[in-house]
Amino acid sequence: MKEISLLKQTLKALMQGQLRAAQDPHRPAWHLAAPVGLLNDPNGFIQFDGHFHLFYQWNPLACAHGAKFWGHWRSDDLIHWQHEPIALVPSEEYESHGCYSGSAVDNNGVLTLIYTGNVKFPEGRTAWQCLATLEEDGSCRKLGPVIALPDGYSGHVRDPKVWRHDDGQWYMVLGAQNLAGEGKVLLLRSADLHNWQLLGEIAGSQLNGLGEFGYMWECPDLFRLGDRDILIACPQGLAPQQTRWLNTFQSGYFIGELDYQQARFAHGEFHELDLGFEFYAPQTTASSDGRRLLFGWMGIPDGDEFYQPTLAYGWIHQMTCPRELSLEEGRLHQRPARELQQLRRSPQTWQGAAHQLAPLDISSAELLIQPEGALTLHFADALCLSWNGEQLRLSRRNPRSGLEEHRYWHGSLAQLHIFCDRSSVEIFINDGEAVMSSRYFPSAAPQLRLTDETQVNLHYWRLEDGVIV
C-alpha cells in the first residue's frame, strides 16, 4: 500500500510540475535531468542486452534530499534516451528512508540491481544492502536485504558497486565509516549475490599510508583499466588546500593493484577526477566495444545547491555528459563519449586574435580552442575561464554569498574542448588530461566572448537537442 501511495504522489508531482520545469530557460537541451524534483547520483549504469541503462537517485516529490527513489532511463546510443518505469520506490521497512545508491550486473541474463536500503530512527540509523531484478515489463522485483550492517561500522555503510571477476566470483566494494569516524572502502565476495563474505578494508583513512583522510568514503567503484586497477571514491572530510580539494566533498581516484586473495589494494596518491564546481558520485561501466564509460552527478551534496534558480521551476541538478576513460602515463584521462559527435550541427572554424572573434551562441554548443598565449573566456558574464601561461582559473560568484570563488588547474595548456548546455559547462583540458565541470545560470541567452590579443584556432558546432521521451 505504501508503494501505491508514493506512486500516486509521484504521478501528481509529474502532472503538476513537468510543464513548469520544461519552461525553465536553464533546463538542459541534451544533458540528462529528472522531469521534476531532485536528481543526484547516477546508479546502475550498465550496457545490458544491447541497451544502456542509467538509473539515478531521485526525489520526485520535492527539491530536497528526502527519501530517494530510483529513476530509470534507457538508450541505444548514449544520446537518445527514453524514460522507463520507476525502478525502486522506498516502500519497505528495510528502505524506509530511501533506496540509496548502488549498481547493476548481468546475472546470467537477468539485470540485477544492488542498492542500499537506508533506515533512520530517533537514536541513529542503519543500512541494508538489497537486491532487485528488472522484469520484462520494465518493473523491478525486490528480493530484499542480503547484507546487514557489519560489526564495527556506523550506520553509514552504502553504495555497493559489484562486478564478476575472472575467478567466477562476485565482488563488491562498499563505502563505510567505522566506529572511530574514519572513512573506509570494504571488499566483499559472493558466489551467488545473496551470501556475502566481508574480506576486509582495502582503502580509507589510516590505510595504505594515507593517514587521516576523511570521515566517510562514498560511491566507490573499482575496475580494471589497461594493466592497472582503478578505485574511484568520494572521501568526505578532506580539508581544503590552496588550489585543490575546494568543493564541500571530493571525488577522485587511486591507481593500484588489487590482491583479491589477500584483500589488499596497494595504490598511489589521490587525484581529483574533476576540478570544477559541480561533480560528484561518478559511476562507470564497461561497454560491449571495450570502453570504460562514466557518468557523474553535476552537483555537490551539502554545498550551495539550494540557491540555484531552477528551484523556482521545481527541479534541480543534472548528469554530466557520458565520458570515456583511459589510462595514459600513469593518469586517468576523460574524454567526451564519441557518440556526442552525433549532435553536431552548423560547423564553423575561425583563426585570429581572440578579441576579434564575434560573440558565440553557447546555449547548446561544442568548442575546440587552441590558444597560443594568455586567454580569457567569458561565459555570458556569469562564468570566467582565464589562462595565464601557467594556470587555468575558473571563476564565478557563489550563489549563496555572492562572493567570487575559483577553481584551478596547473600545467601546460595546448587545447580546450568545451561543451555548453544552457546552464552547464564541461571543459576538457588537453584531450582529457583534466576536466572542469560547472553549473552557471546566465540571465539571458548565453554567449561566449574571448578577450586578449592571443592568436587562437577555434572550431565551433551548434549541438542539437538530445531526445528524452
Closest by CA position to 218, among listed 257, 243, 250: 250
> Following DSSP, what letter does each residue of 268-336 receive, concatenated?
---EES--SSS-EEEEEEE-TTS-EEEEEES--TTSSGGGSGGGGGTEE--B---EEEEEETTEEEEEE
With cell 548514449, the residue in question is 78
Phi first, then psi, for residue 125 (nearest 5°) are -155, 165
425: Cα separation from own chain's centroid: 14
Set 24, 41, 229, 274: catalytic member: 41
Contact at 8 Å (CB) between 240 and 405? no
215: Cα separation from own chain's centroid: 21
Euclidean distance between CA atoms 252 and 246, whole angstroms = 13
Euclidean distance between CA atoms 243 and 261, whole angstroms = 39
Cell readout for 333 is: 584521462
Contact at 8 Å (CB) between 140 and 113? yes
Report the length, in residues, of the chain: 469
Phi first, then psi, for residue 215 (nearest 5°) are -95, -10
End-to-end CA distance of the chain: 29
274 is catalytic: no
- The catalytic site residues sit at 41
